[in-house]
């Protein structure tokens, strides 16, 4: 069966974005219909980005306080069993400064990735299952930059410091959902984690580095181990990488590690072409 899904995983600054775009270019050059979905895409077909999940009672309270946005929120709320989903980041992007900051803040506190781990896992797994059913009927190959391993790791280990078996089972559940797509996973790695992360900190906006460090040390694993600052974040990332290695060993899907330590795009492109040929994604 042809591969319908290619996933690119790895730690921040390791080269996931570059690798995902490179795979997309390789397939496109060979006239293979492809959809590239990058991290943070608000229309992500297998994940929820900037989406709040609330109860009917919570929705009622929000509508009462929404003022002129009451009708808009009511129209954009999607019911899922006994819960309601609201794409608050899309609304903020659409309405800009006119979208009340207090309303935005209230919705963001109910983000799907702020939910208890069991509920987050249930919603995300169901989302992946629905994506797999739809993707199976389409000709295109979908490429995901992260979210398959990264998001369960981030919410499970980093945010909640959940037991390893719980985080592992989360990822294995997603693997089961996408089995019909004959997925292929590229894991982008680096020999020197500290160099790669500090390079990302230097090259990205200061707000990114501050937010990332706060997230990684201010809750869950980082807080439990009393880690602080960039040094503490590096310790969390190292622990995360070790757990990701163990999860990779448990995955039955086709998976390949890509060493990006040299940041050599031409060499990486050659390796990717060879691997894509090996797995029949592109012709020999």
pLDDT digits (tens, 9 = 90+) for 39-82: 999 999 999 999 999 999 999 999 999 999 999 999 999 999 99
pLDDT tens digit at each of 284 positions of the chain: 589 999 999 999 999 999 999 999 999 999 999 999 999 999 999 999 999 999 999 999 999 999 999 999 999 999 999 999 999 999 999 999 999 999 999 999 999 999 999 999 999 999 999 999 999 999 999 999 999 999 999 999 999 999 999 999 999 999 999 999 999 999 999 999 999 999 999 999 999 999 999 999 999 999 999 999 999 999 999 999 999 999 999 999 999 999 999 999 999 999 999 999 999 999 98
Whether 76 maps to a domain, the answer reads yes
In this structure, what CATH number is given to the domain that contains residue 249?
3.40.50.300
The pair phi, psi for residue 69, each rounded to 5°, is -95, 5
Residues 83 and 170 in one domain: no
- Taking the model in full, what pTM does it have? 0.95
Residues 146 and 197 in one domain: yes
Residues 77 and 101 in one domain: yes
172-201 b/e (C-beta count within 10 Å ≥ 16 → b): bbbbebbeebbbbbbbbbbeebeebbeebb
In the chain, the N- to C-terminal Cα span, in Å, equals 17
Residues 237 and 97 in one domain: no
pLDDT at 168: 98
* Final residue before a domain boundary, out of 89, 110, 131: 110
| Number of domains the chain is built from | 2
Whether 67 maps to a domain, the answer reads yes
pLDDT at 1: 58
Cα–Cα distance for residue pair 76/93, rounded to 1 Å: 14
β-partners of residue 52 are 86, 111
Residues 27 and 134 in one domain: yes
Residues 224 and 238 in one domain: yes
Whether 284 maps to a domain, the answer reads no
| Coil, helix or strand at residue 121 | helix
Residues 194 and 74 in one domain: no
Whether 283 maps to a domain, the answer reads no
Whether 128 maps to a domain, the answer reads yes
* Final residue before a domain boundary, out of 110, 135, 155: 110
Give, in order, the Cα–Cα distances in Å from 40 to each of 55, 136, 157, 228, 229.
25, 23, 20, 26, 24
* Host domain of residue 23: 5-46+116-278
67-79 b/e (C-beta count within 10 Å ≥ 16 → b): eebeeebeebbee
The closest of 100, 105, 252 to 172, measured between CA atoms, is 252
Residues 208 and 128 in one domain: yes
Whether 246 maps to a domain, the answer reads yes
| Coil, helix or strand at residue 256 | strand
């Amino acid at each position: 069966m042809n591969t319908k899904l290619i996933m690119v995983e790895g730690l921040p600054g390791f080269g996931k974005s570059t690798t995902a775009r490179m795979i997309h270019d390789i397939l496109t050059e060979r006239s293979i219909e492809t959809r590239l979905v990058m991290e943070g895409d608000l229309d992500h077909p297998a994940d929820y980005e900037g989406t709040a999940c609330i109860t009917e009672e919570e929705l009622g309270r929000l509508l009462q306080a929404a003022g002129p946005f009451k009708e808009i929120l009511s129209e954009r709320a999607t019911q899922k069993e006994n819960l309601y989903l609201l794409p608050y980041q899309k609304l903020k992007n659409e309405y800009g400064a006119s979208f009340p900051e207090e309303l935005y803040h209230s919705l963001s506190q109910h983000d799907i990735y702020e939910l208890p781990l069991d509920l987050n896992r249930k919603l995300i797994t169901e989302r992946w299952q629905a994506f797999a059913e739809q993707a199976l009927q389409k000709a295109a190959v979908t490429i995901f930059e992260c979210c398959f391993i990264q998001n369960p790791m981030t919410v499970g280990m980093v945010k909640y410091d959940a037991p390893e078996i719980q985080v592992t089972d989360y990822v294995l559940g997603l693997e089961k959902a996408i089995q019909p797509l004959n997925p292929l996973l590229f894991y982008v790695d680096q020999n020197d984690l500290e160099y790669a992360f500090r390079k990302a900190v230097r090259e990205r906006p200061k707000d990114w580095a501050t937010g990332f460090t706060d997230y990684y040390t201010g809750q869950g694993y980082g807080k439990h181990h009393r880690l602080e600052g960039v040094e503490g974040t590096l310790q969390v990332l190292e622990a995360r990488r070790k757990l990701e290695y163990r999860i990779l060993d448990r995955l039955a899907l086709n998976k390949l590690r890509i060493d990006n330590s040299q940041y050599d795009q031409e060499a990486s492109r050659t390796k990717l072409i060879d691997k894509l040929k090996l797995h029949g994604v592109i012709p020999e």
